[in-house]
Chains A and B, each alone.
Chain A
Amino acid sequence: MHDAGAGDLAGRGVSSQVEYADGEDASAFAQMLGGLIEANVVSRSEKLRDFNRLNARVGVFVTDIGEGVTLEFDRGHLVVRNGLEGRRDVTIRADSDTVMQLSNVRIGFAGMPNYLDANGRRVMGRMLKGQLKIEGLVGNLTTLNQVTRLFSVAE
């Protein structure tokens, strides 16, 4: 039986690991992304390890809805903010469908995202077409891989 409450978007406030800077005004996208990361961290020990190590400011902007969030990872704690805040290490810009595909990237050998299988190739294809843009990639590849692992729901 799954935990239906883990993804309940209604009334989500502050948990021990994920906090919403905008409280009850957190956008649906902020709650969805925060909820996804929290559910992953709670259920998967390898993701918890990444979560406890990650110290970075990551922006995600969904181009077709014109909304973004800033994820402030601070070694075992995450603050999710509505909108793109300054001083981001990495920013991902993509449409909603690509964001979902990014969350379905499989994690392969040595914890590296697998961009060679069908879904991975689709993600890479969108990057080549400019439908997925990643700013701050240079110097932050480890951060990007950690974030990709935290987002990934693929089994």
Chain B
Amino acid sequence: MTVAAFSPEWAQAFKDEINRSAAYRDAAKGWKWSVGLVVEPEPDRNFPEGAGVIMDLQEGEARDIRVGSPAEAQACDFVITGTYTRWKEVATKQLDATRGMLQGKLKLKGDLPTVVRFTKASQEMTECTTRVPVTWPDEG
């Protein structure tokens, strides 16, 4: 069953995928910070409002993932910002998140050594995103 991108159902499915992932659980041991994903609006892609994804991640477990405002996501310890198109590219494996950050396609705010230390966890989390079947607002 597909879920609408950046909907509460998507957030729940994303959380379930993370908590099913043994690879993420192993790679994220020691992680104890909140992560916010800011999805910038793109009206011409039928995504006019923007969104925030607020993730409470602790020691390899997703305790809570919810969709809120961009401002709520920006208040997290670590914040990754990108346009709707960029996040769609990440979720459909067209853009590697690490590569995206090095290219400035995704902007990172937070302690860099910590982020680099948990690169593997970040990659596993991206894998979890790609396993959620999504209906995109600019398709169909």
Q: In this assembly, does B93 line the interface, its C-beta being within 8 Å of a C-beta of chain A?
A: no
Residues of B within 8 A of A65 (CB): 99, 102-103
Q: Would you give the shortest CB distance from B117 to chain A, in whole angstroms?
A: 5
Contact of B112 among A10, A32, A96 (CB under 8 A): A32
Q: In this assembly, does B140 line the interface, its C-beta being within 8 Å of a C-beta of chain A?
A: no
Contact of A154 among B77, B108, B110, B117 (CB under 8 A): B117
Q: In this assembly, does A39 line the interface, its C-beta being within 8 Å of a C-beta of chain B?
A: yes
Residues in A1-42 with C-beta less than 8 Å from chain B? 2-4, 6-10, 27-29, 32, 35-36, 39-40
Q: Dominant SS at the B interface? A: helix
Cβ-defined contact, B115 with A7, below 8 A? yes
Residues of A within 8 A of B29 (CB): none
Q: How far is the CA of A62 from the CA of B113 in the complex (A)?
A: 18
Q: How far is the CA of A6 from the CA of B109 in the complex (A)?
A: 9
Number of interface residues of B (CB under 8 A): 22
Cβ-defined contact, B107 with A10, below 8 A? yes
Q: In this assembly, does B116 line the interface, its C-beta being within 8 Å of a C-beta of chain A?
A: yes
Q: Would you give the shortest CB distance from A13 to chain B, in whole angstroms?
A: 16
Cβ-defined contact, B109 with A28, below 8 A? no
Question: CB-CB contacts of A78-99 with B at 8 A, as 1s and 0s?
Answer: 0000000000000000001101
Given contacts A29-B103, A104-B119, A155-B117, contact A96 B96 (CB under 8 A): yes
Known: A2-B110, A29-B104. 20 other contacts (CB 8 A): A2-B114, A4-B111, A6-B112, A7-B108, A8-B110, A9-B107, A9-B109, A29-B103, A32-B102, A32-B108, A32-B112, A39-B111, A65-B102, A65-B103, A96-B99, A97-B96, A97-B98, A100-B98, A104-B117, A153-B113
Q: List 14 A-B contacts (CB under 8 A).
A: A2-B110, A4-B110, A8-B109, A9-B104, A10-B107, A32-B101, A40-B113, A43-B113, A96-B96, A97-B119, A99-B102, A100-B119, A104-B116, A153-B117
Q: Give the 8 A-B residue pairs with the shortest CB-CB distance, closest first.
A: A28-B104, A7-B112, A153-B113, A100-B119, A2-B111, A153-B117, A36-B112, A29-B102
